[in-house]
Amino acid sequence: MVFSQRLSIIYFVFTFAIIFVASAADPRQFPFTTFSEKTDQSIFHFTPHSSIDQGALQLTPDSENAEVSYSNKSGRIMYHKPYRLWSSDNEDDDGVASFNSTFLINIYREKDWIAGEGFAFLIASDWNMPEQSYGQWLGLTNATTDGNAKNHMVAIEFDTRKQDFDPDDNHIGLNINSVRSSKTVSLEAFDIEISPEVGTNYTVWVQYNGSSKVIEVYMAKRIINIPPVRPETPLMKEPVNLKQYLKQDSYFGFSGSTGSRAKQLNCVLEWNLVVQEFKTRKNMTLLKIGVPALVLLVVFGVILGVGYVKKRKRTTLEESIVLGTLKRLPGMPREFKYKELKDATNNFHASMILGQGGFGVVYRGTLRDFDEANATNESAEIAVKQFSRDNIKGKDDFMAELTIIHRLRHKNLVRLVGWCYEKGKLLLVYDFMPNGSVDRHLYKASNQNTLNWEHRCKILAGVASALHYLQNEYDQKVVHRDLKASNILLDSEFNARLGDFGLARALEQERNSYAELELAGVAGTLGYVAPECFHTRKATPESDVFSFGAVVLEIVCGKSPGIQIIHGQHQFSLVDWVWMLHREGCIEEAVDERLNSNYALDEAKKLLLLGLACSHPIASERPQTQAICQIISGTMSVPSVPPFKPVFTWPSMGTAYSSTDSTVSNVTLSRITVSLP
């Protein structure tokens, strides 16, 4: 009896501790007065053509990416966490959460563009966007899904293009599961043009009263330096019971689209969202008891819990498993105290953020008295990766990364210095890389500061060597699964260090049938993912080689593999563009023009051909890492690449790499040079 009481008190204490930690760990929250590509990537879900650029959410391609076509695009950006829209405790109470959302939009178009197609504020059951939702579908629906109640979607559209079911090309509408609005309001009478010739910012207020179940939309031109004031009367005021259409937990965000001839930039510059919170009954009661009671509870919990905690040192089973696994790992690097890392990163201050990925935030830090053994007073620069708490899989990613990277030793891999698992927080500590990541140099630096040719060659040789080590020299094959320019870091001498092993998996030699492993929902970035992965959803050593090929082309051309290149009448992906230039006998035209001919022509041609060979659509035809290293070092001749890109076939006939027999790899090795006639 006493025991179970203690247990339940401990449970409450922990629940509160977890709620507290979870809310404190949220890095950025509403309101957003600007958006940062550095820190906000994981706060939103992006569809392929959407991004953060120039401090704004860009639903469709923006002017920064001039090589991307503006036409026929759609995109969605959703806040990463869903909101609970009604309480599940009380079935009879049909109240819905009230919310207020205010945002600043700029639906820009150039003077000779016809505006289109439109933009929408969206509440939806998930953050996926249907295919072919460009043009009139506004990134909301497509020809198949339009009108389907299973869309579970309510949106306010800002329509800039007239369809036959629209009143005009400048209206707002209430869209329920469809682009055919259940209510529209033309804006001409209000002297508002959504996408005028002269770029204009509009503040929009969308307010929902969950008891009267009425949605209201207000809009006002935003004049710079004058704070926005909501107009007295709404443009639209419509009853809508969200409970009837939406899921209980729904996402908030935006969508937008362009058409074939009609195009515009769909930008959100600021966003605030306040959703009324539904508390569960338990929480309600506890809140009524108030803070003093909570403090008492904690004190009692501690007093009563002491005996229990003494018996079982580890507080949760989960924690003990993690710690046990960590401590058993041979050659495990140093364990850090949470406080050391907190001090090193200036209390995880926002100014110390180096970057942010799907797995958490990376901070820069300085450790003092680092070398304890020699008792020197030197300080060391470190990078601390903090796994985010609301990523449920965070722990698995942490374990995967730790168990793999702690045993890898190679001069072109980022070195793991240590780890920390304390108070439910997972942290990994790496050497700090003063020159940041490769993509930063390729795209963010000014033209003069871009990587010079020697650096580019050195980086590629380093990455090839690291890849070869992972696939062959280490006692288990390791697939990195997320090889891309942003995961290649540079030390003070511009040596490449491959990092971010969050997705990496070790392939066990003796279990060939497991040689291919799940690629979590094809997590990789577009352009780096091998075509077969979209069918198998599995990463292999060959798909890492494909990603390497994309990196080679990217570094030599200075262009991202994800972009579309317009050449004459046609649009090409980066690899198709290089292949076309190769066919036309002028492959050197692909070399980054910012190098101004300051590069070795033969070497550049060699690397481009190697990049194409690695981009072979058929996995078994791609060179293996040993050949790649030899080609780069010049001890093996350049592969001959056919003038036309071979066709991707599925299922692939090849079986290379599924066996680990060394004779097989020799055979495959010799086949590469002749396999691309």
Ligand X SMILES: *[C@@H]1O[C@H](CO)[C@@H](O)[C@H](O)[C@H]1NC(C)=O
Give one DSSP letter per residue of 249-302, joined into a string.
EEEEEEEEE--SSB--EEEEEEEEEEEPPPPPHHHHHHHHHHHHHHHHHHHHHH
Alpha-carbon distance 85 to 215, whole Å?
14
Residue 609: which of 637, 640, 567, 575 has the closest Cα? Answer: 640
Name which of 261 and 339 has its Cβ closer to ligand X: 261
Q: Crossing angle, helix 601-614 and helix 574-583, to 10 degrees?
A: 120
Token pair 């003070």: residue = 492
Residue 131 Cβ, how far from ligand X at the closest point, in Å?
4
Phi, psi of 513 (to 5 degrees): -65, -15
Question: Which residues have CB under 8 Å from 168's CB, separation 6+?
Answer: 162, 186, 188
Alpha-carbon distance 203 to 201, whole Å?
7
Residue 220 Cβ, how far from ligand X at the closest point, in Å?
13
Residue 239 Cβ, how far from ligand X at the closest point, in Å?
11
Residue 272 Cβ, how far from ligand X at the closest point, in Å?
10
Alpha-carbon distance 552 to 485, whole Å?
9
Alpha-carbon distance 561 to 611, whole Å?
11
- Is 93 catalytic? The answer is no
Name which of 7 and 149 has its Cβ closer to ligand X: 149
Q: What is the DSSP letter of 563?
A: S
Interacting residue ranges for ligand X, rule: CB under 6 A: 71-72, 98-100, 106, 130-132, 135, 142-145, 199-201, 207, 209, 211-212, 224, 260, 269, 274, 276
**Which of the following is catalytic: 482, 500, 544, 592?**
482
Alpha-carbon distance 657 to 541, whole Å?
8
Alpha-carbon distance 86 to 172, whole Å?
27
Name which of 275 and 414 has its Cβ closer to ligand X: 275
Alpha-carbon distance 218 to 224, whole Å?
19
Name which of 135 and 355 has its Cβ closer to ligand X: 135
Name which of 66 and 667 has its Cβ closer to ligand X: 66
Residue 233 Cβ, how far from ligand X at the closest point, in Å?
13
Residue 205 Cβ, how far from ligand X at the closest point, in Å?
8
Determine contact, residues 619/656, Cβ cutoff 8 Å: yes
Question: Which residues have CB under 8 Å from 590's CB, separation 6+?
Answer: 553, 556, 557, 577, 578, 581, 608
Q: How many CA atoms lie within 13 A of 258 on its CB side?
A: 28
Determine contact, residues 133/47, Cβ cutoff 8 Å: no
Residue 104 Cβ, how far from ligand X at the closest point, in Å?
6
Residue 224 Cβ, how far from ligand X at the closest point, in Å?
5
Alpha-carbon distance 213 to 190, whole Å?
25
183 is in an annotated binding site: no
Name which of 72 and 658 has its Cβ closer to ligand X: 72
Name which of 233 and 492 has its Cβ closer to ligand X: 233
Determine contact, residues 73/261, Cβ cutoff 8 Å: no
3-state DSSP assignment of residue 5: helix
Name which of 106 and 175 has its Cβ closer to ligand X: 106
- Residues forming the annotated binding site? 385
- Residues forming the annotated binding site for ATP? 385
Report the catalytic residues.
482
